[in-house]
């Protein structure tokens, strides 16, 4: 009696595995054309990192200014007074004055800067 039961179990298992082994068929439509275009990708340019930050005391009105210089040497941000909304300044090339709309201008380095703010004269500021 073991033989017919074993044969019936084997046939049932074979039937179940045959049901689950479906093959996927792909049909290509002659009217559909797939075009692949290869685009030349531009290199990803990351924003510059912070090179230095400092708070400066300006001669003339004795005000404080917080300046962040960036590693590309073509951009900086100024907060005048510190804690206010920062103003982004930029230059076309490294070494040129950093400017922003409204009359902002900044030159100098991490020790001493010359800053022009809207409606005010240029003044020298030190750390």
Q: Is 88 in contact with 82 (CB distance < 8 Å)?
A: no
* Whole-angstrom distance, CA of residue 97 vs CA of residue 10: 86
Q: Of 127, 112, 102, 122, give the one whose Cα is nearest residue 60.
A: 122
pLDDT at 18 over 70: no
pLDDT in tens, 58-99: 998 899 999 999 999 999 999 988 889 999 999 999 889 999
* Whole-angstrom distance, CA of residue 120 vs CA of residue 21: 81
User: In the structure encoding, which two tokens stand for residue 48, read together?
Assistant: 């510059």
Q: Is the bond leading into 81 cis (omega within 30 degrees of zero)?
A: yes
User: Which one has a higher pLDDT value, 103 or 11?
Assistant: 103
């Amino acid at each position: 009696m073991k033989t017919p039961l074993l044969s019936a179990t084997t046939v049932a298992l074979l039937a179940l595995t045959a049901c689950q082994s479906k093959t996927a068929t792909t049909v290509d439509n002659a009217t559909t054309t797939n075009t692949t275009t290869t685009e030349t990708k531009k290199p990803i340019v990351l924003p510059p990192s912070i090179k230095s930050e400092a708070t400066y005391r300006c001669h003339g009105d004795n005000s404080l200014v917080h300046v962040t210089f960036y590693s590309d040497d073509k951009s900086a941000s100024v907060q005048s007074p510190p804690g206010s909304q920062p103003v982004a300044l930029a230059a076309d090339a490294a070494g040129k004055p950093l400017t922003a709309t409204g009359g902002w201008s900044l030159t100098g380095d991490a020790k001493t800067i010359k800053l022009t703010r809207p409606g005010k004269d240029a003044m020298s500021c030190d750390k």
